[in-house]
Structure 1
Amino acid sequence: MHIALAPMEGLVDNILRDVLTRVGGIDWCVTEFIRVNDRLLPASSFHKLAPELRQGARTAAGVAMRVQLLGSDPVCLAENAALACELGAPAIDLNFGCPAKTVNKSRGGAVLLKEPELLHAIMAEVRRAVPAGIPVTAKMRLGFETPDGALDCARALVDGGAEQLVVHARTKLQGYKPPAHWEWVARVQDVVRVPVFANGEIWTVEDWQRCREVSGVKDFMLGRGLVSRPDLGLQIAAERDGHAYQPLDWQALMPLLREFWRQAQAKLSPRYAPGRLKQWLAMLTRSYPEAVALFGDVRRTDDCQLISQMLGVAASPNSCVA
């Protein structure tokens, strides 16, 4: 069983990848999507969203990181994929699942599921451009409006050269509204010869058990569930192996929260760093009652020094009121 950390634009950046992979239970992670339009991007565009490329394409904990590209031009995507590999990407992932309206309007993400022929062309062109030893994978949803074409899309991607598929078990129109339709993951796995990862609505070990039973697959990608419960991967692995496991409590989580805040202040201006902390804290409230109280305090201020005091850490020299 492999457990992957999902790429979530605007949420799982290099800071959160670093902190979450320190906990353990994650086999690999993926960058936020790098948008490819009509040109070869400069190396700085890759390093901005994937600074791990400068350290062997691994997080500080040693977890491998894949580079995800999003776009609709097969040749341009292929050229950028080749450059990403030159910069050290160990695998290229293609995004056919993003449901954002702005992305779909510019012909990226889930809207391409309306065109399985284009999916095949993109995958085939990228596969030809990427060195043989570097995997090319894809993340898809069940479709744009309905799942009727999901199997055709999956076949198109695999026939084009995809070595793995991650299936977010909802359509674009369903967004992130429960339930996830894991039975469709089983149908996809039935028609392709490569490993399929199930993704969507896995918040707890019990959710994982149901997903495994319904989908029949052995590999999983965790997104919001892992962000809100950082040791979910470890909990799942322990359940799979029949081992006892004591879940990560708030006291053990606090050093990670402080490290996240330290890195957020180092990377972002005082205007934006508090928002990143509030974003993660809001998700932690789902799993930790202590996060509810802390979030209630933090949400009322953008003063970095005051937030540092609330977290019990020394203020950054650059801290100030945003």
Structure 2
Amino acid sequence: MLLLAPMEGLLDCVLRDVLTRIGGVDRCVSEFIRVTGHLLPDRVFLRIVPELAHGCRTAAGVPVRPQLLGSDAACMADNAARLAALGAEGVDLNFGCPAKVVNRHGGGAALLREPETMAAIVAAVRRAVPARLPVSAKMRLGWDDAVLALDCALAVQEAGADELVVHARTKADGYRPPAYWEQVAPLRERLAIAVVANGEVWNVQDAQRCRAASGCAALMLGRGIVAHPGLALALRAHDAGLPGGEPLPWERLVPHLQHFWEQVCVQLEPGQHAGRLKQWLNLLRRHYPQAQQAFDTVRLLTRQQDVSDWVRRTAGDVSELGLVA
């Protein structure tokens, strides 16, 4: 099982669309929907998870599970019930966000200091949605250490969750390497529900090490698959004993970059357009020298039309050379 991670400001509906078109992903989790004390209007759910209007699937047919973030169990339950009514594939709960603005209000990773509150939230959401819908959760190893990691994991399980993703770092670790995959292993050994490992999987070799250290066959991919869009396909090839593992050739990626840019211009606010393309190109530089060249060009462009012209020229050059597979 290969899951696409929720990442606020990065892995949104546009990038979910692109990465699931490339292939290899079994399921996506949306970026968090913040619950702050009331039932959200449908437009908020549909803005963050537009796939709700299409069977809760991306254009490639991959399920998307909306994620809720909050600390009020009753309010989380109300919003989960509304998601179910809108056709959600399931409901995921965020116990891992390290953002200060979220933690100050008792949400995300702040709840890792309160296993009993985590249990209350999971139990309330489980009661609020139909039994056929899975309830999952994503947590970190802890706030500033992993002392309560097992308590938190057991609380999630005993309250009725069907699956737990563990980001193998604490809140204090942020996103700094390494990820402590070996600290996921004791949780997986104690839990009867599915446990998914997450953190610092950038390539096939990382995935192999993560699986060996954590004992988890299932992985959640975040920045690694954004930087290496063919990573899920490469992992599937490796698992099947087939050759592969290298990043998609640049010429195969360019049409996806063009589609990404077109969708960004349609679905996001104008002020976000160029920044989102630069953000992706910045991560792609890990594997593609062409992305470095593209980044250097795009960062000097200030008008949307200029970026659109550059994208079309780049796609056209690849097509004219007969390089698109």
**Shorter-chain TM-score range:** over 0.9
- Residue aligning to 1:259: 259
- Residue aligning to 2:64: 65
Contact 1:68 1:93 (8 Å CA) reproduced: yes
- Residue aligning to 1:148: 147
Could you tell me how far apart the structure 1 residues matched to 2:308 and 2:82 are?
A: 40
How far 1:85 moved relative to its partner?
0.5
Classify the secondary structure of the residue corresponding to 1:31.
strand
Aligned pairs (5 A) from 1:115-134: 115-134=114-133
Classify the secondary structure of the residue corresponding to 1:167.
strand
- Residue aligning to 2:107: 108
- Residue aligning to 1:309: 309
Classify the secondary structure of the residue corresponding to 1:142.
strand
Percent of counterpart pairs with the same letter?
54
- Residue aligning to 2:83: 84
Aligned pairs (5 A) from 1:253-292: 253-292=253-292
Closer/same/farther in 2, CA of residues 270 and 126 from structure 1, 3 Å limit: closer
Could you tell me how far apart the structure 1 residues matched to 2:222 and 2:184 are?
A: 16
**TM-score, normalised with respect to structure 2:** 0.95
How far 1:309 moved relative to its partner?
2.0
- Residue aligning to 2:320: none
The one-character-per-residue Cα deviations of 1:218-251 (angstroms, maximum 9, x if unpaired) are: 1000000001001100101111110123641100
Could you tell me how far apart the structure 2 residues matched to 1:212 and 1:228 are?
A: 20
Could you tell me how far apart the structure 1 residues matched to 2:196 and 2:283 are?
A: 23
Aligned pairs (5 A) from 1:1-322: 2-245=1-244, 247-312=247-312
Classify the secondary structure of the residue corresponding to 1:140.
strand
The one-character-per-residue Cα deviations of 1:98-140 (angstroms, maximum 9, x if unpaired) are: 0111110111100100000001111011100110000000000
Comparing 79-88 with 241-250, greater Cα deviation is found at 241-250
Contact 1:271 1:302 (8 Å CA) reproduced: no
**TM-score, normalised with respect to structure 1:** 0.95
How far 1:94 moved relative to its partner?
0.1
Could you tell me how far apart the structure 1 residues matched to 2:269 and 2:97 are?
A: 27
How far 1:269 moved relative to its partner?
3.7
Could you tell me how far apart the structure 1 residues matched to 2:138 and 2:267 are?
A: 28
Which letter does structure 2 place at the counterpart of 1:274? A
How far 1:185 moved relative to its partner?
1.0
Contact 1:52 1:58 (8 Å CA) reproduced: yes
How far 1:283 moved relative to its partner?
0.8
Which letter does structure 1 place at the counterpart of 2:251? Q
How far 1:59 moved relative to its partner?
0.1
Could you tell me how far apart the structure 1 residues matched to 2:13 and 2:33 are?
A: 13
How far 1:144 moved relative to its partner?
0.4
Classify the secondary structure of the residue corresponding to 1:8.
coil
- Residue aligning to 2:319: none
Contact 2:230 2:247 (8 Å CA) reproduced: yes
Could you tell me how far apart the structure 1 residues matched to 2:250 and 2:240 are?
A: 25
The one-character-per-residue Cα deviations of 1:278-321 (angstroms, maximum 9, x if unpaired) are: 1111111111111000000101122111112222259xxxxxxx
Comparing 261-270 with 279-288, greater Cα deviation is found at 261-270
Contact 2:228 2:247 (8 Å CA) reproduced: no
How far 1:146 moved relative to its partner?
0.3
Classify the secondary structure of the residue corresponding to 2:31.
coil
Could you tell me how far apart the structure 2 residues matched to 1:83 and 1:60 are?
A: 23
Could you tell me how far apart the structure 2 residues matched to 1:278 and 1:247 are?
A: 19
Which letter does structure 2 place at the counterpart of 1:188? L
Classify the secondary structure of the residue corresponding to 1:176.
coil
Contact 1:137 1:162 (8 Å CA) reproduced: yes
Classify the secondary structure of the residue corresponding to 1:180.
coil
- The two structures, once aligned, show a CA RMSD in angstroms of 1.1
Contact 1:6 1:221 (8 Å CA) reproduced: yes
Could you tell me how far apart the structure 1 residues matched to 2:68 and 2:16 are?
A: 17
Could you tell me how far apart the structure 1 residues matched to 2:269 and 2:24 are?
A: 31
Could you tell me how far apart the structure 2 residues matched to 1:269 and 1:302 are?
A: 15
What stretches of structure 1 of length at least 5 have no aligned partner?
315-322
Which letter does structure 1 place at the counterpart of 2:260? F
Aligned residue-pair number: 313
What stretches of structure 2 of length at least 5 have no aligned partner?
315-325
Which letter does structure 2 place at the counterpart of 1:45? V
Contact 2:247 2:287 (8 Å CA) reproduced: no
